[in-house]
Amino acid sequence: MFEKRDRFLSLLGQRSIIMGIVNVTPDSFSDGGRFNSLENAKAQAQKLVAEGADIVDVGAESTRPGHTPVPEDEELRRLEPLLEGLVQAVEAPVSIDTSKAAIARYAISRGVCVVNDVWGLQRDPAMADVIAVGGAAVVIMHNRADVDEKRDIVDDMRRFFDHSLGLAEKAGIPRHHIMLDPGVGFGKTKLQNLEAIAGMTKLQDYGLPFLVGLSRKSLLGSLLGDDPAIKLIGTLAANLTAAAHGASIFRVHDAAEHVTAFKVFDAIERA
């Protein structure tokens, strides 16, 4: 686990990083129900890695708008038949998309090396300690339980991150194990989602890598419509724009297209 974790962390800052998505849920907005078996989940993970994904992100609870929260035992029931086998099936590191400490602990015990927490260590009070003890890296995502169009979302992101980073420091999570995520699509209006992407520029003083999850989001549908081909173009455009504003890790369904796009982006940036 630690070898994969350190290999992944060593890439940060060197080039754009592609995180491929494997949802083992019945109700995710884009691919719910497709990868619920070990065979299908392994095949999808291997496909993403073959296409160039640097890390595979596994989630057993949909966090789409209007989702039904999944109890801890149900989330574990979805993961137990396949997580260990999936981790062993790919050379790339695997992250777990969860906000529950017990699920994070289980995943780390099965070889997962990154915890992708959509509540940024603030939903489950045990989460920071579990990550610290397990030695995993962590993605701290900005989130809110309510939407307020009058809120300065970038200021709110800073307050949120300051609190989460305090929790991480208290638990003993090394700072170089931490990534931040503006949380596009979570607790924000359409305008605030756009402001959150652009606002990463103002948050570079944290000195931490930013991850963005823009793939096939409803934000893109509201701008472009729901045609899958158009949504892919929109996702690529949004991720390249996010990269120009400071993002370096991109959580996507379509790994091959993003690997190609970021080869061009990174070549121009290096020049």
CA–CA separation, 12 and 46 (whole Å): 22
- The single residue of 217, 231, 263, 270 carrying the catalytic annotation is 217
Decide if 60 is inside a domain: yes
Q: Could you count the other beta carbons within 10 Å of the beta carbon of residue 270?
A: 7
Q: What is the pLDDT of residues 136-149, one digit of tens each?
A: 999 999 999 999 99
Determine the 3-state secondary structure of 117 from DSSP.
strand
Q: Which domain holds residue 240?
A: 2-264
Token pair for residue 97?
A: 């998309």
Question: Is residue 231 annotated as part of the catalytic site, yes or no?
Answer: no
What burial class does residue 73 get, using C-beta atoms within 10 Å of its C-beta: 0-12 exposed, 13-18 middle, 19+ buried?
A: exposed
What mean pLDDT comes out for the span 178-207? 97
Q: Per-residue confidence at 238, pLDDT binned at 50, 70, 90?
A: very high
What mean pLDDT comes out for the span 230-255? 96
The answer to whether residue 226 scores a pLDDT higher than 80 is: no
- The full length of the chain comes to 271
Higher pLDDT, 19 or 69: 19
Domain count, the chain: 1
Question: Is residue 263 annotated as part of the catalytic site, yes or no?
Answer: no
Q: Return the H-helix or E-strand segment holding 180.
A: strand 178-181
Decide if 218 is inside a domain: yes
Tell me what pLDDT residue 189 has: 95
Q: What is the pLDDT of residues 2-51, one digit of tens each?
A: 999 999 999 999 999 999 999 998 754 454 446 668 889 999 999 999 99
Mean confidence (pLDDT) of the chain: 93
The answer to whether residue 204 scores a pLDDT higher than 90 is: yes
- The single residue of 170, 251, 263, 270 carrying the catalytic annotation is 251
Nearest to 20 by CA among 84, 103, 94: 94
Determine the 3-state secondary structure of 172 from DSSP.
coil
Decide if 270 is inside a domain: no
Decide if 224 is inside a domain: yes
Burial of 212-229, coded b for 16+ CB within 10 Å and e otherwise, reads bbbbbbebbeeeeeeeee
Decide if 269 is inside a domain: no
CATH of the domain at 149: 3.20.20.20
The torsion region of residue 125 among left (phi > 0), alpha (psi -120 to 50) and beta comes to alpha
CA distances to 102, 115, 161, 219 from 121, rounded to whole Å, are: 13, 10, 10, 25
- Amino acid identity of residue 215, one-letter, is S
Decide if 69 is inside a domain: yes
Decide if 190 is inside a domain: yes
Q: Per-residue confidence at 64, pLDDT binned at 50, 70, 90?
A: low
Decide if 106 is inside a domain: yes
